[in-house]
């Protein structure tokens, strides 16, 4: 039986789950899988999109590591799709490809002043505090009063990292440069804004509870936001998650505050209208007070308020990035597809090209949702064997892709290299009395992975 070759672009949870599920479930044909990622280390969102003080969520790394450590999936890190490797290359060396590149950009927010200095996308800030090698090593943390726009988990991650004292992050794997940046932050007040009410938030009870546990940070909520309308009453009564969220926030209302050096404010029924500026830099936010419209949404009241701030973070969603040679929906930020089968501009299936994860469905759902998402895509990968792209790959030998990357001077990393980097980071942490200290610089990551001495 001829061994079929499958490439997966993206080594985060979506890509690794897809590879694992296919190898476990499919026995009708012999397939080998190569996993590519532009980063030198695997795990994508888990390593670079989750706040470092979330050890429970990061525990999923253990499951992903078990998959890669089996040895039946090859990992090629530090390989950039579109330059180091193209779609034409994949067609030459593989029978099919699955794109699992996620959504790492920030969704836009079209209000005046959003592009002022001091206005940032949450995704960029998350990449910085998670030690992503492709963002600057420093971050401008000069504001005393900061606004975070959004009512999802990412908004809470951003708010918590801004409000938390740097020393309280030392038990985590926070990179050294991030610790130094946060340690010197002058922030005193972080304001989180949501258009709707407390019963309509998108964050989880776990995320919310963690806010109330931050040392030396007062949680501030406002009584005017808790006049519960019938729709909110119904949500609280019928949804256990909403019920817990309501209980937590009402507990904060009963707390005494005023003794902490920092404050984290939650503002509901607040629709941002404009980011105010002075001399090109953020100086405030103008917003409209909203109210329930009786149909599950909100409507404006006409009451306009302003709040002084010196920095703003928009956490209104992630957005996918286009991939060379692959169709892309500019409006939704995804690869257009039907159940994971990529579609061209005429809504026709592109043979042999598939998508899974956030680049397939958009940035919705938790990490665990990627398993069911991958199963849907893989069902088509299996059924479509006869209609994978033609002609067949010119050179599907497993060593052919290694020769190609070597020929192009691409210094790639492997699973073994990730083990070297993993142990190195743990060693850095142990020397400092910590669990791990992340290596941030790409060149250093590659050098450690490949055990080449630094110059």
**CATH number of 72's domain:** 3.40.50.720
Per-residue exposure over 97-116, b if at least 16 CB sit within 10 Å of its own CB, e if not: bbbbbbbbbbbebebebbeb
Would you state the pLDDT for residue 203?
Answer: 87
Cα-trace Rg, the chain? 24
Report the distance separating Cα 210 and Cα 203, nearest Å.
12
Contacts of residue 378, defined as CB under 8 A and 6 or more positions apart, other chains included, come to 18, 21, 22, 25, 26, 340, 356
Q: Which helix (H) or strand (E) holds 297?
A: none
What is the total count of domains within the chain? Answer: 2
Report in angstroms the alpha-carbon separations of 94 from 22, 98, 179, 384.
Answer: 16, 11, 43, 14
Q: Which domain-ending residue is among 294, 317, 340?
A: 317
CA 149 to CA 120: how far, in whole Å?
Answer: 10
> Cα(314)–Cα(294) distance, rounded to whole angstroms?
27
Q: How far is CA 217 from CA 89, 240, 396, 418, in A?
A: 53, 27, 58, 37
Do 208 and 326 reside in the same domain of the chain? no
The pLDDT assigned to 27 comes to 62
Whether 211 is in a domain gets the answer yes
| Residue 228 CB partners (closer than 8 Å, separation 6+) | 197, 199, 236
Alpha-carbon distances of 332 from 99, 149, 155, rounded to whole Å = 16, 20, 20
Identify the segments of the chain with pLDDT beneath 70. 1-2, 26-29, 55-58, 365-368, 452-455
Domain around 9: 4-104+320-412
**In terms of domains, do 306 and 178 share one?**
yes
| Residue 153 burial by Cβ neighbours in a 10 Å radius (0-12, 13-18, 19+) | buried
Segment 359-397, tens digit of pLDDT: 999 887 666 677 888 999 999 998 888 788 888 899 989
Residue 400 in domain: yes
How far apart (Å, rounded) are the C-alpha atoms in residues 94 and 305? 58
Query: What is the rounded distance in angstroms from the CA atom of residue 340 to the CA atom of residue 14?
Result: 12
Residues 394 and 405 grouped into a single domain = yes
Q: Do 311 and 345 belong together in one domain?
A: no
> 391: cis peptide before it, omega within 30°?
yes
Same domain, yes or no, for 232 and 326?
no
Please name every residue paired with 32 in a beta bridge, in sequence order, or none if there are none: 5
Contact call for residues 243 and 237 (beta carbons, < 8 A): yes
pLDDT by residue (tens digit) across 416-432?
999 999 999 999 999 99
Q: Are residues 99 and 112 in the same domain?
A: no
Residues 11 and 68 in one domain: yes
Q: Is residue 435 part of a domain?
A: no
Cβ–Cβ contacts within 10 Å for residue 379, how many? Answer: 14
**pLDDT at residue 366, as a whole number:** 65
User: 49: closest CA among 132, 120, 137, 108?
Assistant: 132
First to last CA, the chain: 48
Identify the pLDDT of residue 281: 98
Nearest C-alpha neighbor of 214 from the set 174, 152, 166: 166
In a domain, 247, yes or no: yes
Domain-embedded: residue 418: no
User: Same structural domain for residues 64 and 188?
Assistant: no
The H or E element spanning position 263 is: strand 262-267
pLDDT at 455: 43
Beta strands in 357-410 (DSSP E): none
- Domain-embedded: residue 288: yes
CB distance 33 to 8 below 8 Å: yes
Percent of the residues in the chain that have a pLDDT greater than 70, as a whole number? 96
> What gap in Å lies between CA 318 and CA 102, rounded to an integer?
9
**Which among 298, 317, 336 is the end of a domain?**
317
Same domain, 159 and 288: yes
424 inside domain: no
What is the structure's pLDDT at 255?
87
For the record, the structure tokens of 393 come out as 């790959």
**One domain, residues 164 and 271:** yes
pTM: 0.92
Domain annotation covers residue 386: yes
Nearest-angstrom CA–CA distance, 190 and 86: 44
Distance CA 228, CA 173 (A): 41
**Sheet of strand 262-267: strand arrangement:** 119-121, 311-314, 145-149, 189-193, 262-267, 217-220
Asked if 296 and 348 sit in the same domain, the reply is no
Q: Please give the biggest Cα pair distance in the chain.
A: 72
Question: Are 260 and 128 part of one and the same domain?
Answer: yes
By the 10 Å C-beta count (0-12 exposed, 13-18 middle, 19+ buried), 431 is classed as exposed
What is the pLDDT, as a whole number, of residue 58? 67
Q: What is the dihedral of CA 101, 103, 106, 108, to 10 degrees?
A: 110
In order, the DSSP letters of 130-151 are TT-TTS-S------SEEEEE-S
């Amino acid at each position: 039986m001829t061994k079929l070759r499958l490439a997966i672009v993206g080594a985060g949870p979506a890509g690794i789950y897809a590879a694992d599920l296919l190898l476990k479930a499919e026995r009708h044909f012999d397939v080998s899988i190569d996993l590519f990622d532009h980063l030198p280390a695997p795990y994508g969102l888990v390593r670079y999109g989750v706040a470092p003080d979330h050890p429970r969520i990061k525990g999923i790394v253990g499951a992903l590591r078990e998959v890669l450590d089996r040895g039946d999936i090859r990992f090629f890190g530090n390989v950039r799709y579109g330059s180091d490797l193209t779609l034409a290359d994949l067609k030459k060396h593989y029978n099919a490809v699955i794109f699992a590149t996620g959504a790492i950009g920030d969704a836009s927010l079209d209000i005046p002043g959003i592009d002022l200095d001091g206005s940032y996308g949450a995704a960029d800030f998350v990449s910085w505090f998670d030690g992503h090698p492709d963002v600057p090593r420093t971050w401008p943390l000069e504001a005393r009063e900061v606004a975070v726009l959004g009512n999802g988990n990412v908004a809470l991650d951003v708010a918590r990292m801004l409000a938390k004292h740097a020393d309280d992050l030392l038990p985590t794997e926070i990179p050294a440069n991030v610790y130094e940046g946060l340690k010197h932050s002058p922030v005193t007040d972080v304001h989180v804004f949501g258009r709707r009410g407390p019963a309509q938030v998108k964050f989880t009870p776990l995320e919310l509870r963690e806010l109330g546990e931050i040392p030396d940070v007062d949680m501030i909520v406002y009584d005017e936001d808790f006049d519960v309308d019938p729709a909110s009453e119904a949500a609280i009564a019928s949804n256990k998650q909403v019920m817990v969220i309501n209980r937590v926030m009402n507990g904060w209302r009963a707390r005494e505050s005023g003794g902490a050096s920092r404050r984290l404010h939650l503002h509901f029924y607040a629709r941002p209208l404009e980011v105010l500026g002075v001399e090109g830099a953020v100086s405030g936010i103008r917003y409209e007070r909203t109210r329930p419209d009786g149909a599950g949404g909100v409507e404006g009241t006409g009451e306009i308020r302003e709040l002084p701030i010196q920095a703003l973070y928009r956490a209104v969603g992630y957005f996918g990035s286009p991939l060379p040679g692959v169709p892309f929906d500019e409006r939704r930020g995804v690869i257009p597809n039907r159940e994971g089968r990529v579609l061209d501009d005429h809504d026709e299936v592109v043979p042999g090209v598939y998508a899974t994860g956030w680049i397939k469905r958009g940035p919705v759902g938790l990490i665990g949702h990627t398993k069911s998402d991958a199963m849907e895509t893989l069902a088509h990968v299996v059924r479509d064997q006869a209609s994978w792209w033609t002609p067949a790959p010119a050179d599907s030998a497993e060593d052919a892709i290694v020769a190609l990357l070597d020929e192009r001077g691409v210094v790639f990393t492997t699973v073994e290299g990730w083990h070297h980097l993993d142990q190195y980071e743990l060693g850095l942490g142990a020397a400092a009395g910590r669990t791990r200290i992340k290596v941030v610089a790409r060149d250093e990551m590659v050098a450690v992975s490949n055990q080449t001495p630094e110059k």
